[in-house]
Amino acid sequence: MASSKRRGVGVGGGEKKDLFHVVHKVPAGDSPYVRAKHLQLVEKQPDMAIVWFWKAINSGDRVDSALKDMAVVMKQQDRSEEAIEAIRSFRHLCSKQAQESLDNLLIDLYKKCGKVEEQIELLKQKLKMIYLGEAFNGKATKKARSHGKKFQVSIQQETSRILGNLGWAYMQQNNFEAAELVYRKAQTIEPDANRACNLGLCLIKQGRNEEARQTLEDVRLHRIYGSEDEKVVARAEQLLHELNPINCVSSPFDVGLSVHEEIMERLDLVMNEWTPFRSRRLPVFEEIATFRDQIAC
């Protein structure tokens, strides 16, 4: 009878232990990576978690996850520069499958640190991978996760997202002509209300207020995907409110370069370097080429 009770306790204890891992989303075991996750998620000791993530990387324990999770914790602790160096120095230890998510993490870190040039360069590399058919391991879709939920992302959605990030990076350089061109291409692939607001701002900065007004009205009147978000609509209304005739005195050449020089130079950075691989190009980049030719005319 006593033996039976002990077995019952043991089973119950095991069930509680399993439930603990589920509730706290920590893996089972006692390896360096497991201890790091426990420190991060259960004990809430981020600095000690980073120490154990380092131990996991150095011992070869779940290196893909350890490096990514450590970089995330570092970012949360305002140690983004350190996180960037960690990824650059140790990503060669990670699998091929982990490289794309490491790139995405680097882009976020570059953005937080204000490293715009590095951000642009990496975004161009990601576009190049799509262009060459190397993204998503050659597949048309991939599984992604956000806030604990899994969903499918198409190559078109990923291209539009990257172009949107590239447009934002150009805006940080006050290069509104290049940003406009990239945002327009993103919108032809997958319209989005937030990007439409950014496009409207680019047009305002170039003194093209009537075009900006039309773009922003599409958001205000809920004609575009994402305009159900009240914050996005409020932003569009604020930009519309700021539009007035006095702002129309600026020129599309305010950034100091001609339209042809600036637009063609920046678009070349994104795609012309890939022309030797034209035969392997995805349809979306044929559309970009057509759009570029229209601008050149």
DSSP 135: G
Q: Residue 3 and residue 116: Cα distance in Å, rounded?
A: 66
Burial class (CB in 10 A: 0-12, 13-18, 19+), 62: buried
| Per-residue pLDDT reduced to its tens digit, 153-206 | 888 899 999 999 999 999 999 999 999 999 999 999 999 999 999 999 999 999
Q: Residue 29 and residue 201: Cα distance in Å, rounded?
A: 52
CA-to-CA separations, 56 to 33, 146, 273, in angstroms, rounded? 5, 25, 39
E strand or H helix that includes residue 154? strand 149-154
- For each of the domains in the chain, give its residue range(s) and CATH number, in order of start: 24-113 (1.25.40)
Q: Residue 96 and residue 214: Cα distance in Å, rounded?
A: 44
Q: Residue 95 and residue 185: Cα distance in Å, rounded?
A: 32
Residue 279 has pLDDT above 50, yes or no: no
Percent residues over pLDDT 90 in the chain: 58
Name, in order, each residue with C-beta under 8 angstroms of 174's C-beta and a sequence gap of 6 or more. 205, 255
- What does the pLDDT read at residue 246? 44
- Reduced to 3 states (helix: H, G, I; strand: E, B; else coil), residue 200 is helix
- What does the pLDDT read at residue 83? 97
Mean per-residue pLDDT over the chain, rounded: 80
- What does the pLDDT read at residue 273? 43
Q: Are 239 and 204 within 8 A, CB to CB?
A: yes
**DSSP H helices in the chain:** 2-24, 32-41, 46-59, 63-76, 80-90, 99-113, 116-131, 155-172, 176-189, 193-205, 209-220, 230-242, 259-270, 283-296
- Reduced to 3 states (helix: H, G, I; strand: E, B; else coil), residue 29 is coil
- What does the pLDDT read at residue 25? 63
Residue 44 has pLDDT above 90, yes or no: yes
Average pLDDT over residues 7-11: 40
Q: Residue 65 and residue 53: Cα distance in Å, rounded?
A: 9
pLDDT band at 274 (very low <50, low <70, confident <90, very high): very low
- What does the pLDDT read at residue 252? 43
| Per-residue pLDDT reduced to its tens digit, 238-265 | 999 988 654 444 444 444 444 334 444 5
- What does the pLDDT read at residue 22? 52
Residue 23 has pLDDT above 60, yes or no: no
Percent residues over pLDDT 70 in the chain: 71
- What does the pLDDT read at residue 153? 85
Sign of CA dihedral 46, 48, 51, 52: negative
Average pLDDT over residues 5-17: 44
- What does the pLDDT read at residue 49? 97
